[in-house]
Amino acid sequence: MEKYKLNLADLRAKVMLKYGVSLDETSLTILTILQEEIGNNLTEHSQKLDHVVSTIKGSTKSLEVDHNYPKWQAFWFGMGKWGVASTLCIILIGIYTQFYISEQHKKKIVNDWCWWYKSYYSETKGMSKNAAEEWLANHPMPAQ
């Protein structure tokens, strides 16, 4: 423990002026020691408290309003809440619908071509070249 040089006369005068009590040397010494220990403990607890407060502020910083871009922050908050899920759902429904419509269109084209070729070969089997050309003019090939 460190050695302190106490000026008991000054301490006695301070206590007497502040509290109106006259203390002996032992009481003044004990009072001085307690004040120093409490001051050291208070400093230590204050430092710990400052560290805890800075940790809490650092962890909630992402929850603070971004003053530079508040609209973007609100947008991405909303996207995280509902937007990404609904956007993904809409995109998947769109892809499925496009695929389904495309498949239906392909089936229709194939059926149209099959019908046309069947009709062409069955109708023009015994025809002359001019009659076949006339049939082709009346029944054009289906569009692709």
pLDDT tens figures, 109-136: 888 888 888 888 888 888 888 888 888 8
**Which band of pLDDT confidence, cut at 50, 70 and 90, is reported for residue 64?**
low
| Displacement of CA 23 from its chain's centroid (Å) | 65
More reliable by pLDDT, 132 or 46: 46
Mean pLDDT of the chain: 83
Q: What is the rounded CA–CA span in Å between residue 55 and residue 76?
A: 25
In this prediction, residue 140 carries a pLDDT of 81
In this prediction, residue 47 carries a pLDDT of 92
**Which band of pLDDT confidence, cut at 50, 70 and 90, is reported for residue 61?**
low
Of 44-48, 75-79, 112-116, the range with the lowest mean pLDDT is 75-79
Q: What is the rounded CA–CA span in Å between residue 102 and residue 140?
A: 23
Name the residue with tokens 């269109």: 105
Q: How far is CA 21 from CA 11, 28, 30, 93, in A?
A: 11, 11, 15, 86
DSSP code for 62: G
**Which band of pLDDT confidence, cut at 50, 70 and 90, is reported for residue 88?**
confident
Mean pLDDT on 74-99: 85
- The two tokens of residue 97 are 């619908």
